[in-house]
Structure formats: C-alpha cells, structure tokens
C-alpha cells in the first residue's frame, strides 16, 4: 500500500510538472493573439489585396486572426513608421513593396531607415506594370506616345499613387530613358490615380497589371506596353517597353513583409515558413498566374539581400531622374 501511495504521488508530481511545462510552452507559441498587418497604402491596390489574401491564409495556418489595417500617406512613410515604432513581438507586421526601397534614396528625411528599423520576413510576389492611356489620347502605340510627348513637352500628365511608389518611379524611368517631358500627378493611392485616368483627368499611368488588365480588356483604357523583361502571360499581345521603343527598360512591382527590428528569430522563421508554403501552393500559383502575379520564395536572409540590391538599383534611377524629395 505504501509503495502504491508513493507511486501515485510520483505520478501526480510528474503530471503537475508536465502541465507546468506545457503551460510554459503554450505561452511561448506564436501567435497567441491577433496579429496586425499594416498596409501603408489605401484600400484596393495590389498591396492591400495581397495583404488580405496572405492574412487569410496565415490565419488558417497559424490559428489566430491576421487583421489588415490601411494607413496610407506620405509615400508609405506614415504606416511604415508606425510599424518601425511598434513592439518587436511579431504582433505588428508591415506589408511593403519596392516603394520602400525607392524611398531610401528618394526622401532625404524619414523617421526610420528601412533595414535598420525593420527586419525582413519574406517576399510575396511580383507583377509587371502596364502603361495605359485614356482613349482620348491620340497614341495607338508607344512610339506614337513618345512622338506626341516630344512634340508637346510638358503637355501630357501621368498619374501615380504617390512619390516613390513603383508607379511613380516607372514613369520617371520612362521619362529618362525615352527622353521626354511628361508631368507627374501624385495621388493618395492607386485607386484614386486609376479613377482619374479612367475619367480622362490625367492622360496616362503605369499600373499593376493585376489590377489594370480587366479595364484594358473592357476598353476603358488603351494598353501601350508592359514593363517587364518578357511579355505578360495574361496580356501576351501587348509588347514590352523594351520591344516597343525603350530598349533596356525593366520595372516591376513586388510585395513582401517586414517586422520591427528585434522581433525574435523564431517568430520571423515561423512566418517565413508559412508564407513560403502559401506562395508555393498549387492553387495559389494557378490563381496568381491568371492575375499576372508571380510568387516569390526566399529565406528571410535572402530577402534582406534582395532588398539591399533593390535599394541600390532605385538609387541610380532616383539620381538620373532628379526626383529627390527634401
């Protein structure tokens, strides 16, 4: 009987110890509460759309809500700064794009430095941009547009979602490489820029092909060229700028996620692993292919190196264009 009681006590003690260990582990599992993804752009654009897609898939994979919060303004600086100043615990993340790599050289003063105050998690995807004009513009192809711009310097406007965004820098790169003078008209977001082009208030725009393709197909705008190295799979009849009259032109929009510097490596690795699984899923690849988006897969370290290279690339474009903002 004594042996039985001793055995029971040992069993109970082990059980209590196991519960304590389990409780400790439960407290360290990530995430244990909702995660916020700040999108520093207005609703309706590619970053917002794919942040919501990724958030939904991450919620299913990790078992906690991933809540999207749009904080547009100042060329993505307002929302980005909010993330940079957040607690580095993995519960506030940033949906970013190559707007952020451009901003490193475009803005002389920012309240943060990208790779100092934020740490890379993973890329999401990239897609070509497409140059479109309102149907009222008397240019049927890219060479016509360039000729028109050269004949009437400063008479044509192009819309963007704000300074430093891929839409803006694609326009500046086009101006520099084609040797033309067209006027930049910044907007608060891509939806507003798109609306102004559709209304004919602004003559043209570089936009994400994932968003603009349906409007081209419906005849609301005229597509002149795409921005990648090869033709887009969803609009194969539209030539690249490289083919159509601007040799060497190459500009895309890419998206990714970052977190405040100091976020635990285990959290970064967990997020990176699940994001890589999401973008590599067959149904995701098939759905995005129909939209013109290409999944990107990298480790957090590889993504960091990619960001560094993109900062250097766009610094050269900013210097050539003279588009620096003080």
The CATH number given to whatever domain includes residue 68 is 3.40.190.150
Taking every pair of C-alpha atoms in the chain, what is the biggest distance, in angstroms?
105
Burial of 149 (0-12, 13-18, 19+ CB in 10 A): buried
Host domain of residue 110:
35-127+253-321
Q: Give the pLDDT score at 166.
A: 87
* Pair 20, 47 in one domain: no
Instruction: Give the residue from 32, 50, 33 showing the smallest Cα distance to 257.
Output: 50
* Pair 191, 101 in one domain: no
- 28: confidence class by pLDDT, cuts 50, 70, 90: low
| Per-residue pLDDT tens digits for 223-256 | 999 999 999 989 999 999 999 999 999 999 999 9
Q: Give the pLDDT score at 196.
A: 96
| Per-residue pLDDT tens digits for 94-130 | 999 999 999 999 998 999 999 999 999 999 999 999 9
Residue 74 has pLDDT above 90, yes or no: no
| Per-residue pLDDT tens digits for 170-205 | 999 999 999 999 999 999 888 899 999 999 999 999
* Count of structural domains within the chain: 3
User: Would you say residue 30 lies in a domain?
Assistant: no
* Pair 40, 148 in one domain: no
Q: What value does the mean pLDDT of the chain take?
A: 90
Global pTM reads 0.81
Q: Give the pLDDT score at 2.
A: 46
- CB contact burial 292-323 (16+ within 10 A = b; e otherwise): bbbbbbbebeebbebbeebbebbeebbeebeb
Residue 264 has pLDDT above 60, yes or no: yes
Q: Give the pLDDT score at 309.
A: 96
| Sequential DSSP letters for 280-323 | HSHHHHHHHHHHTEEE----HHHHHHHHHHHHHHHHHHHHHHT-
Report the percent of the chain where pLDDT is more than 70: 91
Residue 120: C-alpha distances to residues 87, 261, 287, 298 (Å) = 16, 9, 25, 10
Answer yes or no: are the C-beta atoms of 154 and 184 closer than 8 Å: no
Helix, strand, or coil (residue 249):
coil
* Pair 91, 134 in one domain: no
* Pair 239, 151 in one domain: yes
Q: How many CB atoms lie within 10 A of CB 74?
A: 18
């Amino acid at each position: 009987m004594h042996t039985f009681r001793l055995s029971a006590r040992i069993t109970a003690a082990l059980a209590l110890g196991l519960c304590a260990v389990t409780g400790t582990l439960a407290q360290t599992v990530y995430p244990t509460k909702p995660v916020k993804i700040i999108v520093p752009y207005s609703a309706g654009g590619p970053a917002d759309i794919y942040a919501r897609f990724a958030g939904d898939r991450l919620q299913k994979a990790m078992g906690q809500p991933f809540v999207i919060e749009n904080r547009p303004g100042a060329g993505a600086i307002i929302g980005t700064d909010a993330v940079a100043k957040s607690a580095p615990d993995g519960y506030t993340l940033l949906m970013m794009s190559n707007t952020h790599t451009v901003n490193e050289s475009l803005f002389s003063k920012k309240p943060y430095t990208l790779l100092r105050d934020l740490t890379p998690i993973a890329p999401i995807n990239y897609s070509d941009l497409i140059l479109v004009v309102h149907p009222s513009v008397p240019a049927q192809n890219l060479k016509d547009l360039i000729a028109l711009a050269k004949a009437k310097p400063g008479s044509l406007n192009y819309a963007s979602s704000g300074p430093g965004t891929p839409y803006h820098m694609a326009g500046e790169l086009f101006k520099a490489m084609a040797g033309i003078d067209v006027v930049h008209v910044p907007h608060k977001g891509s939806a507003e820029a798109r609306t102004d082009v559709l209304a004919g208030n602004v003559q043209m725009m570089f936009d994400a092909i994932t968003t603009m393709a349906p409007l081209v197909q419906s005849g609301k705008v005229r597509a002149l060229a795409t921005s990648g190295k090869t033709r887009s799979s969803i609009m194969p009849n539209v030539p690249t700028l490289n083919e159509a009259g601007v040799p060497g032109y190459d500009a895309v929009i890419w998206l990714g996620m970052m977190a405040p510097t100091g976020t635990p490596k285990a959290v970064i690795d967990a997020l990176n692993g699940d994001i890589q699984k999401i973008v590599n899923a067959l149904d995701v690849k098939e759905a995005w292919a129909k939209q013109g988006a290409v999944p990107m897969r990298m480790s957090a370290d590889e993504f960091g190196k990619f960001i560094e290279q993109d900062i250097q690339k766009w610094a050269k474009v900013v210097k050539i264009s003279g588009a620096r903002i003080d």
